[in-house]
Structure 1
């Protein structure tokens, strides 16, 4: 019993093309996920507006936000999902977006 191999000169090129396309595709998906995960919430976002979110806590209007006190910011809030040393981190109130560590909103709750 004898096996014959097909003489297909394109097989190595097809493999290289497949591998190249796979690597490029995986890289593109990774970058897309990182880009979407890194989007910062805008102050004019409807949810942000409803919560009085400011990306810089020093710019909070104390007349409009009487709950605000100096020293409060997203970095020391119980809802903040990141390190205080990070520039931004996740917040469950703004799903899929990050908030500035130096930001503030009316849902502030001091981290224990």
Structure 2
């Protein structure tokens, strides 16, 4: 009996630790803010449909972070890390002037 109780306690402690670590990783995911200097310099907008086309004539309909080569999330993620912003989270429907279509 003692060994099964000990195994249960060790498994529970391991599970609780891994759960705490995974929650911590999610909490550490930082989103790019509007006040971010790089975001301002590149004209980052969380909604690509609201990009100022006069200021950023490179923008074309259909472009967005989710289909940019720098976006590290999955195609169906609402947000994901971006290489341009040091791994900070960007909106998948966002856009910035560093946009480069995925190959």
TM-score for both structures, normalised by structure 2: 0.77
Q: Does 1:32 align with 2:9?
A: no
* Offset of residue 41 of structure 1: 0.9
Deviation at 1:96, TM superposition (A): 3.5
Larger radius of gyration: 1
Q: CA RMSD in A?
A: 2.1
Aligned residues: 95
SS in structure 1 opposite 2:73? coil
Structure 2: runs of 5 or more not aligned = 1-9
Is residue 79–residue 92 contact of structure 1 (8 Å, CA) maintained in 2?
yes
Q: Distance in 2 between matches of 1:84 and 1:22?
A: 32
Cα shift readout 1:50-108 (whole Å, capped 9, x = no counterpart): 11000100110011111111110001111111122110111111114111100000000
TM-score normalised by the chain length of structure 1: 0.71
Q: Unmatched 5+ residue regions in structure 1? A: 1-18
